[in-house]
Amino acid sequence: MVNLLGKYLKPIILFGALMSVFLLGGCSQMAVLDPKGPVAAQQRDLIMLSIVFMLFIIAVVFVLFVLIIIKYRERPTNMGYEPPEMEGSKFLEIVWTVIPIIIVIALSIPTVQAIYSLEEIPESEHADKKPLVVYATSVDWKWIFSYPEEDIETVNQLYIPEDRPLEFRLTSADTMASFWIPQLGGQKYAMSEMEMKLYLQSDEPGVYEGRNANFTGEGFTKQRFKVYSQTEEDFAAWVKKSQSAPELKEEQYEKLMFPGDAKPMTFSSTHLGFVNHAKDPEYAIRVREKYGVTYQEHHSKTEEKEKNDTGEELGSK
């Protein structure tokens, strides 16, 4: 029996090892498993705990599967064997009902604890610092960041200090989006007529990727932004420099409501002075009606311009 067990297990182990090589080959740029803050680290640990727990369950099931096949295989000594008829087994029914319940409870406890802890300022040695408040507004297909205390607004770029809690207030001017910076923490929805809070923190300077993780139409893939995590001194210098940038006029902001992407921009005032999308969900619709802009028309014009620009560039080369 030992020889037979080895005969069946060797191909399974070899296949598993080969599959592991292929799977691990795609993990070089998994931002979720490369956390740069306490929130992302906590979520990484939860993911790894769940994976290890489930792999253990899978391993037990496969081992039992192989053992049962080997033990109860047909042999010359039991050819034509007919098992006795059974109406049921209360013991087995209890076992295969209780085990899944235990598994779900075991996975639920750390998950629920993590969910509730993420609704507060991240636990770290810097938790006593005053959070930096940033309003993150989604509009097809761009992100607008407002710093009310610094009186600064940026488009498709986010500047943050390291080792300081961040309090994002998420909303949307139109379509429901999902705010996500994989290396700093999990995603959270930004919805019209609502304001959701999300707490994050960066532990070290660097440039990270942010994106919309919820499909919102043709320009969805372009709704990305850079996150610049800086030292306190560098962030203070950026704030001082940005406060000398041009002020944001309402007419400029209205143009940002048009569907389409946008280049990174910085202004020395915010749109919060003339609109709060969490309280005025119809603002973007009114603006588009004012200028006679529709999704299809605006996107077609933008697409045509991009094609022409590309053609001119190629032709000039």
pLDDT digit string, tens, across residues 235-271: 999 999 999 999 999 999 999 999 999 999 999 999 9
Query: How far apart, in whole angstroms, are the C-alpha atoms of residue 36 and residue 206?
Result: 9
Rounded average pLDDT over 181-200: 95
Place of tokens 């002075």: 273
Q: Give the three-state DSSP class for 316.
A: helix
pLDDT for res 293: 85
Query: How far apart, in whole angstroms, are the C-alpha atoms of residue 259 and residue 295?
Result: 6
Task: Tell me the chain's radius of gyration from C-alpha atoms.
Answer: 28
Tell me the pLDDT band of 22, cut-offs 50, 70 and 90. Answer: low
Q: Angle formed by the axes of helices 38-71 and 90-117, to 10°?
A: 170
Structural contact between residues 5 and 69, judged by C-beta atoms closer than 8 angstroms: no
Q: Which has more pLDDT, 116 or 21?
A: 116
pLDDT digits (tens, 9 = 90+) for 148-174: 999 999 999 999 999 999 999 999 999
Q: Which has more pLDDT, 11 or 216?
A: 216
Tell me the pLDDT band of 118, cut-offs 50, 70 and 90. Answer: confident
In the predicted model, what is the mean pLDDT of the chain? 86
- Say yes or no to pLDDT of 307 above 60: no
Locate 264 and state its tokens: 């990174």
Distances (CA, A) of 55 to 52, 58, 102, 156: 5, 5, 16, 40
Structural contact between residues 167 and 134, judged by C-beta atoms closer than 8 angstroms: yes
pLDDT for res 84: 76
The whole-model pTM stands at 0.78
pLDDT for res 295: 57
* Phi, psi angles (nearest 5°) of residue 21: -60, -45
Lowest mean pLDDT among 61-75, 147-161, 184-198, 232-246: 61-75
155 Cβ contact list (under 8 Å, min separation 6): 142, 143, 144, 145, 256, 262, 263, 264, 265, 266
